[in-house]
Amino acid sequence: MTDMVFGTAPSRVGEPVLPRWWRTLDKWALSCVLILFGIGMLLGLAASVPLAEKNGLEAFYYVKRQAFFGGAGIVAMLLTSMMSPRQVRRVGVLAFFACFAAILALPFVGTDFGKGAIRWFSFGFASVQPSEFLKPAFIVTAAWFMAAAHEIAGPPGRLYSFILMVIIVLILAMQPDFGQASLILFSWMVMYFVGGAPIMLLVSIGGLTAIGGFTAYNLSDHFARRINGFLSSEVDPRTQIGYATNAIQEGGFFGVGVGEGTVKWSLPDAHTDFIIAVAAEEYGLILVLIIIALYATVVMRSMLRLMRERDPFTRLAGCGLAAAFGVQAFINMGVAVRLLPAKGMTLPFVSYGGSSMIASGIAVGMLLALTRSRPQGQISDILARNKRG
């Protein structure tokens, strides 16, 4: 129906799949992701060696695993980016049901690895965190519901997506995994706003979130400890936040030098949640700003391309995926500099972690697929052509 109103731009008949994929892809965003992965491998060479020695493993054990999982994530990203929006929707919805069943099973067969939160399935040789894969799957599913609400006599998709979001946030909060729960909530609010939600409704949801946070503070010792540590005027130098803060201060503008940092010997999560502290100490503010610029470029270019997209599902899902990608990076770096309470969240494509690497690859692959140039043309081109006609 949309094509009948606006018309379509001609496509290249008989063009092979790979040339068409490369021609329509956002190459700047792809390049930024590949550079982030390269930076992650560089930092992994420094940050993970001390941990391997402490655990009695060969020096580059974690580096090799990061290269393997990172390579798998890049392959998943490239393959997913070749999908059409319809294929992204189908894969996302099917993956959502599988991931939702997985997080329901966590209390019974999951493990916490001594971290106080049951978030993983352990298979001995590897572990899987289903909430990492739930994020992109939920975003795609919620976007499908919201887009259906735009159709004539369509279902109340916004209400369905809201109910789904509340259920997932509550389940994740009970693990407890407040970091992933906040990402799910934020991504949903971005999509709801882009879909035309009233501002007052979003304000009301924000108020309910604040009430939920206050309740969690009073009922969860795990949550309260993190908030109290964040609000404390003094930082215990023997905590992870203390070590990270000191490392960032020591790094200055240009860092103490490659391999000269000491925080990696003190921080147990230097290769995962606090990888940015290693970057700041050894390479200084310069590398940190480069990392921030790379994330910002992916998010901004994706948003700009999505602004010209006509299809509601593509626009909503793309905005949700871009928001989740950018906010996860912001949360990780914000925790390291005490802008936010500790949340235990990885830095996409930079931190070590199999689930994070592969799930980030799938999520960014979906984003690249949704931001590819479409044969129907951009809405501004179509309006200009109709005006000339």
Whether residue 377 has pLDDT greater than 60? no
What mean pLDDT comes out for the span 294-310?
A: 94
Is residue 159 included in any domain, yes or no?
yes
Nearest residue to 356 (alpha-carbon basis) of 120, 8, 86, 181: 120
Output the pLDDT for position 5: 35
Q: 20 in a domain, yes or no?
A: no
Mean per-residue pLDDT, 35-39: 96
- What is the secondary structure of 274-336 as a DSSP string? THHHHHHHHHHHHHHHHHHHHHHHHHHHHHHHHHT---HHHHHHHHHHHHHHHHHHHHHHHHH
Higher pLDDT: 336 or 239? It is 336
- Specify the number of domains making up the chain: 1
Look at residue 9 in the predicted model and tell me its pLDDT: 43
Task: Flag whether 53 is in a domain.
Answer: yes
Tell me what pLDDT residue 4 has. Answer: 36
Among the listed residues 91, 27, 89, 37, the one whose alpha carbon sits nearest the alpha carbon of residue 63: 37
Strand partners, 121: 128
Average pLDDT score over residue span 41-47? 89
Instruction: Tell me what the mean pLDDT of segment 86-101 comes to.
Output: 96
Is residue 3 domain-resident? Answer: no
Q: Quick check: is 31 in a domain?
A: yes
Q: How many CA atoms lie within 13 A of 112 on its CB side?
A: 10
Q: Is the confidence at residue 271, as pLDDT, over 70?
A: yes
Q: Please say if the pLDDT value at position 383 is more than 60.
A: no
Do 194 and 315 form a contact (C-beta atoms < 8 A)? Answer: yes
CA distance 275 to 264: 9
With respect to residue 277, please indicate whether it lies within any of the assigned structural domains: yes
**Mean pLDDT of the 286-300 span:** 96
Longest dimension (CA), the chain: 73
Checking if the pLDDT of 62 tops 60, the result is yes
Q: Once rounded to an integer, what is the mean pLDDT over residues 71-90? A: 96
For residues 340 and 331, is the Cβ–Cβ distance under 8 A? yes
Instruction: Give the pLDDT confidence score for residue 47 in this predicted structure.
Output: 83
Let me know the angle formed at the C-alpha of 299 by 18 and 25, rounded to the nearest 5 degrees.
10
Render the burial of 154-164: b for 16+ CB within 10 Å, e for the rest.
eeebbebbbeb
* Interval 155-206: pLDDT, tens: 888 999 999 999 999 999 888 888 899 899 999 999 998 887 777 777 787 7
Does 74 map to a domain? yes
Neighbours of 83 (CB within 10 A): 20
Q: What is the distance between the terminal CA atoms of the chain, rounded to a whole angstrom?
A: 20
pTM for the full model? 0.87
Residue 28's pLDDT is what? 96
Token pair recorded at residue 31: 């390049």
Predicted confidence band of residue 130 (pLDDT cuts 50, 70, 90): very high
Q: Averaged over 17-25, what is the pLDDT? A: 89
Which pLDDT value is given to residue 384? 55
Domain of residue 245 covers: 26-377
CA distances from 113 to 124, 187, 329 (A): 12, 28, 24
Q: How confident is the model at residue 70 (pLDDT cuts 50, 70, 90)?
A: very high
Is residue 14 pLDDT above 80, yes or no? no
217 in Cβ contact with 210 (< 8 Å): no
Q: Would 165 be classed as within a structural domain?
A: yes
Return the pLDDT at 303.
Answer: 95
98-120 confidence digits (pLDDT tens): 999 999 999 888 888 777 778 88
